[in-house]
Each structure stands twice: as C-alpha cells, then as structure tokens.
Amino acid sequence: MAKSLGIFVSSPENLQHVIGITKAAKAKGSNVKVFFTWKATTLSKDPAFKSLCEMADDVSICVDSYKKQGFSIDDVPEGLTPKKMATQAQHGIIIEDFDCYLSL
C-alpha cells in the first residue's frame, strides 16, 4: 500500500466508498487526504461525513462548489473547520504531493 492516498470526490453517490477506502488505507498505515468538490459537497451534510473527517488525516471541501450547491459559506459542516472550506488548490496538493490518486 502507498504511503499516502489522495481522494478527489466529485460524485454525491460515493460517500460509503470513500469511507471504506479511507478505512482500509488507514489500516495499512497510509496518510489519507480527501477533497470534495462540485455536487459531492452535499455529502458534507450526511451524518457519516463527520466520522470520515475523524478517520482521514485531512478532509476539505471546495467552498465555491459548496456555495453553488446552495449552502452558505458560513455554514461550516460538522467535522470541518473554516480553514478546510478551501479552494481547488487542495486538489492540486493531492496531485502533486500524494503517492496515489483516486477520483470518485
């Protein structure tokens, strides 16, 4: 297993997959960063989102996509801090700095 895994999430249908992959990667000792964009930002309202935030090493969401889905940028999802309401630069970090990249 790779030392680090970056997961880019753009589909609102994949939360359980993201959780399962994160759990497996963490069990193998990997550093996991998850970035949610576009319609997948709606997953931040799912009750399971907080547990993902607690499990992964880093979780952030695209604040512009979040806003475009109808949410207020002041409504920070449970499990995140305002700093994790980020830009697409987080996607770039995954591409540049992580050993493996997965897009769901």
Mean pLDDT in residue range 35-58: 98
CB atoms within 10 A of CB 81: 10
Mean pLDDT in residue range 29-43: 98
Mean pLDDT in residue range 14-23: 97
Mean pLDDT in residue range 68-88: 96
Mean pLDDT in residue range 30-37: 98
Q: Is the pLDDT of residue 46 over 90?
A: yes
Q: Is the pLDDT of residue 2 over 90?
A: no
The token pair that represents 26 in the structure block: 């963490």
Residues forming a β-bridge with 9: 36
Written out in words, the top-level CATH class of the domain with range 4-103 is alpha beta
CB atoms within 10 A of CB 83: 8
The rounded mean pLDDT for the chain is: 96
Question: In terms of DSSP H, where are the helices of 1-104?
Answer: 15-27, 49-55, 63-68, 89-97
Give percent of the chain with pLDDT exceeding 90: 98
**pLDDT value of position 61:** 98
pLDDT band of residue 27 (cuts 50, 70, 90) is very high
Q: Is the pLDDT of residue 1 over 60?
A: no
CA dihedral 50→9→60→7, nearest 10 degrees, is 100
Provide the CB-side half-sphere exposure for 11 (13 A, CA). Answer: 9
- At position 100, the amino acid (one-letter code) is C
